Amino acid sequence: MKHILTLAALVFTTSCFGQVPQGIPTNDLISWHGFDGNTDDAHAFQAHYDALSPEYVMDRFGLFDRSIRFDGVEDQMIAPDLGQYSDLTQLTVSMWVKFAGYPDYVSGEGGHALFMKSQPVGANAVISFNVFTEYDENSLRFDTRFANGTQINLRFEPFSESLETETWHHLACRFDGTKNQIFWEGVLVAESDTYPQMSILNTSYDIMTSTAFGNIDRWQGSLDDLGTWSRALSMAEIQALYSWAPPSGCMNPEACNFKPDAVIDDGTCASCEALATACGEGTIWDAVTSTCLVANVSDTDFDGCVGINDFLVHLSNFGSGCSPEPAWACGDPLEYQGYDYETVQIGEQCWFAENARHLTFVSPSNLGWEDDGGAHAYVAGYEETSVEEAKMEDDYATFGALYNFAAVEELVMCPQGWHVPSVMEWNVLEAFAGPAAANKLKAAPPVWAIRMNWDSTPFECLCASAVVHSVPSTSRQIFGHRRHQRLQKTTPGDAS
């Protein structure tokens, strides 16, 4: 029977067309023909084949009527040019082919058009691109012709050594703008020389498969999943096309595990009752995921309860797979007594970037060491003795707490490994700051009237307040400033 397949544009029709399967690249896709019981183009042009008695056969997945077969006698497929292949600077053609026999290049009858856009004449035909077997050579060819007259003829040979008849093979041909490439079973098997950037020649010739003219004869074989793109697909995309498979699962809508998008029935259909009993001990059937899930993740031995054995299993796994926490470094926040203190590196020293907030008791400003010889802590502007109330003051949030020398000696103000700076350590800081260190360490105006520029570190003292009391000469009055935890020392009787 004569099978002539003619491609015509879809005009004024409500006919449905298929969809490009999930997993197929759609970026710059020109056309996709899955031949799933029809010859529809499932992509943008919707240029469907108007076929005369096409023969649909089993595809590579064992699905009936999912590929198209040519008898090698009269069958052919012709698609008129609709402008979809105009102005191409790149091109990829992908298809699955099954040869009924080896091309007979010995007798000069081995030429078969797999996918050609060419003038249908013998010698010296004008082409845009051709994918075909050569009539007198044991080769598969991918030819492209360009607007400047250059033509690349790329041969994959000896073709018969890679071809197994009556077996599905994946073929992809790619032009990346400078060279032609042929991929067989997802592997690059032939590559042309590299040329300057070129565009494929625009022609109005038909797209042909199994057409006979000149040294090209009818082809006996099958074709499936024919796609074209106006770009060079990546190696990974070509390999993905080679390994692609339709979704599988239960295709019986009456089954509990029915999978609506399944194309291949995997034989797993079952009732909900059967699936519920099929799940192992400690697991239950989940209809959403169509799998058996652990009923209780803490029940490691699936005995229906969480007991001592489960606890020991979890205990033995504790910490496994966890990445170690990065070591603390100066400049990282440091948590102490529920508060994260900022820190700063200044020369070889590491300082708190905030005043201490340790406050277990608080005194009004009129009560000092000379009154009771004891330790006293203050919050600027607060004149009561409630620690909770003092911590709600804005000055506490901004400046932290103030301490007399007895409090500094008595209280555990710093976390382990830290301490209130000594006179020597202050001297090191001042030496690092250099001349006019005091001005350099002040915050910018208007907090202080004078500030000199110093870009070595973001060390900025904010003016807080002071509590001045008469103290023995062996003691020191201590108070804090806003940033870069420092405890400034004042001699007896001095105002701060």
Measure the CA–CA gap between 1 and 489, rounded to whole angstroms: 109
pLDDT tier at 47 (50, 70, 90 boundaries)? Answer: low
pLDDT tier at 388 (50, 70, 90 boundaries)? Answer: very high
CATH numbers and ranges of domains, the chain: 4-243 (2.60.120.200), 248-315 (no CATH), 334-490 (no CATH)
Q: Given this model, what pLDDT does residue 464 score?
A: 52
Q: Given this model, what pLDDT does residue 173 score?
A: 98
Mean pLDDT of 406-430: 84
pLDDT tens per residue, range 253-277: 988 888 888 888 888 888 877 876 7
- Which of the given ranges, 20-24, 148-152, 398-402, has the highest pLDDT on average? 148-152
Q: Which of 18-21's residues contact partners 24+ apart within 8 Å by CB, and which partners?
A: 18/42, 21/244, 21/246
Specify the range with the lowest mean pLDDT, choosing from 39-48, 161-170, 226-235, 301-310.
39-48
Is 70 exceeded by the pLDDT of residue 46? no
pLDDT tier at 443 (50, 70, 90 boundaries)? Answer: low
Q: Given this model, what pLDDT does residue 283 score?
A: 77
Q: Given this model, what pLDDT does residue 481 score?
A: 34
* Burial class of residue 350 (count of CB atoms within 10 Å of its CB; 0-12, 13-18, 19+): middle
Measure the CA–CA gap between 30 and 44, rounded to whole angstroms: 7
Q: Given this model, what pLDDT does residue 48 score?
A: 52
Q: Given this model, what pLDDT does residue 271 score?
A: 85
pLDDT tier at 10 (50, 70, 90 boundaries)? Answer: very low
Measure the CA–CA gap between 489 and 404, rounded to whole angstroms: 10
Higher pLDDT, 267 or 179: 179
- Which of the given ranges, 90-99, 200-209, 436-445, has the highest pLDDT on average? 90-99
Higher pLDDT, 391 or 459: 391
Q: Given this model, what pLDDT does residue 166 score?
A: 97
Mean pLDDT across the chain, nearest whole number?
A: 80
Is 60 exceeded by the pLDDT of residue 17? no
Q: Given this model, what pLDDT does residue 152 score?
A: 97
Mean pLDDT of 370-387: 89
pLDDT tier at 200 (50, 70, 90 boundaries)? Answer: very high
Q: Tokens standing for 46?
A: 């919707």
pLDDT tier at 143 (50, 70, 90 boundaries)? Answer: very high
Specify the range with the lowest mean pLDDT, choosing from 118-122, 228-232, 307-311.
307-311
pLDDT tens per residue, range 49-97: 545 566 899 999 999 999 999 999 888 888 888 888 999 999 999 999 9
Higher pLDDT, 39 or 168: 168
Q: Given this model, what pLDDT does residue 211 score?
A: 85
Q: Given this model, what pLDDT does residue 183 score?
A: 97
